[in-house]
Amino acid sequence: MDDFSNLSAMVVDQGQFQETAIRLARDFGRVYYYKPWKKSEPDRVNLSVGDGFENVIRVRNLFDYVNKVDQFVFPDVYDGDLQLHLESLGKRVWGSRKAEEYEFKRELFKTTLAEVGLPVNPYKIIVGTDALRDYLWEHDGQVVKLSVCRGDSETWTHEDIRVSRAKLDAMDYFYGPLRHYIRFMVEKVIETKIEVSYDGIVIDDQFTDGLVGYEVKNQCYVAAWKKYEDMAEEVRMVNEAFGPKLKERRCRSQWGTEIMVDEEGRPNFLDATARQPSPPGELQLEMIGNLPQIIWHGSEGEFVQSEPNAEFGVQINFYADWQDLGWHSLVIPDETRRWIKLTTACKVDGVYHCIQCEGNKRLPHMRERLGAAVGIGDSIEEAFTNASDAADSIKGFGLEFSKESVAEALSRIKAGEQEGIPFADEVPEPALVISG
């Protein structure tokens, strides 16, 4: 096992993945955390993200520390150019580099699928919300995606114009004069019961063992650790086809795929995640026992196989309504702190504060995800109990955990196994886990 106690790392982030810095601080002697904050009139709130955490140093200016850092870590996308520049200076860099574009440049992703011989679900590019409205009026059962800016809108499914009309009206207001020029990708919903995925790590074109799991959107994630060779054939087929493109761009990062197997048995690669996912990135921080070794060696293109801390993991997201001032205060016991993963937070006088800052602005009293409770174990029941106990340990105003969503995830796991997608030797009855 490598000794990193005399080495330093810097996590460069937009605020969502500060827990990566906290995880690396267990191994590296010094860990810096940098989040962009500068503008003509910067604010103290945005500057405070990442402040106050033990063993993590929040820095204001990245390049003041370039010569003090041994390892740079980019858990998010949009900084591929900075990664390449740091690499040109001789620095170790963990990140997806320009492979990040496969995640948010939708048209590039589609053309690349064709180049590597993977199925391409027919799609149409539509420019402007007026044209989108006209098209959707005549076409139900469509998936609507945007390119480049992930913060503009989540991917959404159009089923009926009477329902989608309000969404389109809101988009008109949001984009204002830009609404005539926004590019949308629209494709037909793939009818299938079989969905598989990969959540692991890629070093150029080599893929580690990792997680397979089921997500209940925005609520929970239930994961099992799998050897790469034991993962679904469709997962390996997609990775191995896409691998040369990732190697070309020196992608050394977490890597996730969302794949739907159509009625003809073809694996339709729908979306790529070229960064730490959320979920199950929060679980990966605890389930991958040798994460610092993978990052250190993988940054230079050396493959290190991942080693699990447990066979199963459960992640339960938690939410609250934002208060008028945009802060939400949490008291977390030291003994469970490791299992609580926060986003855009700081710590002041022993209290954690999730921050409503630029980049996650919402109207007062809107419900927003503050983080997740995670648990690992040698059974699904043990992982759920550990995650549930961690969640119960938090003190905060109006916190909401959807533990019941784990039952829904288990139901989906059982349905998947009936379709020939193995998950675990023993999958408990959903109601028994929740009532437990």
Query: How much of the chain, in percent, has pLDDT values that exceed 90?
Result: 77
pLDDT band at 194 (very low <50, low <70, confident <90, very high): confident
According to the model, what pLDDT value does residue 361 have? 47
Axis crossing angle, helix 129-138 with helix 161-175, rounded to the nearest 10: 170
Q: What would the pLDDT profile of 157-193 be if each residue is shown by its tens digit?
A: 999 999 999 999 999 999 999 999 999 999 999 887 7
| DSSP per-residue codes, 129-188 | HHHHHHHHHH--SEEEEE-S-TTT---EEE--HHHHHHHHHHHHHHHGGGGGT-EEEEEE
Say how far residue 391 (Cα) sits from the centre of its chain: 20
pLDDT band at 436 (very low <50, low <70, confident <90, very high): low
Distance CA 136, CA 107 (A): 20
**Mean pLDDT of the 4-32 span:** 97
Neighbouring CB atoms inside 10 A of 15's CB total: 20
**Mean pLDDT of the 399-417 span:** 90
Cβ–Cβ < 8 Å for 96, 253: yes
Q: What would the pLDDT profile of 29-81 be if each residue is shown by its tens digit?
A: 999 999 999 989 888 888 899 999 999 999 999 999 999 999 999 999 999 99
262 vs 225, which has greater pLDDT? Answer: 225
Distance CA 260, CA 276 (A): 21
Q: Domains of the chain (ranges plus CATH)?
A: 8-73 (no CATH), 122-188 (3.30.1490), 312-403 (3.90.600.10)
Task: For residue 408, count CB atoms less than 10 angstroms from its CB and return exposed for 0-12, middle for 13-18, buried for 19 or more.
Answer: middle
Say how far residue 339 (Cα) sits from the centre of its chain: 17
The residue whose two tokens read 């809101």 is 170
Tell me the two tokens of residue 245: 């493109």
According to the model, what pLDDT value does residue 149 have? 77
Cβ–Cβ < 8 Å for 124, 135: yes
Distance CA 280, CA 243 (A): 22
Determine the residue type at 289.
Answer: G
Tell me the two tokens of residue 341: 């993963």
Q: What would the pLDDT profile of 317-376 be if each residue is shown by its tens digit?
A: 998 876 655 788 999 999 999 999 999 999 999 999 998 754 444 444 456 789 999 999
Average pLDDT over the chain reads 92
Q: What would the pLDDT profile of 110-131 be if each residue is shown by its tens digit?
A: 999 999 999 999 999 999 999 9
| DSSP per-residue codes, 341-355 | EESSEEEETTEEEEE
* DSSP category for residue 2: -
Neighbouring CB atoms inside 10 A of 156's CB total: 13
Determine the residue type at 214.
Answer: Y
The CA-to-CA distance between both ends of the chain, in Å, stands at 38
State the pTM of this model. 0.94
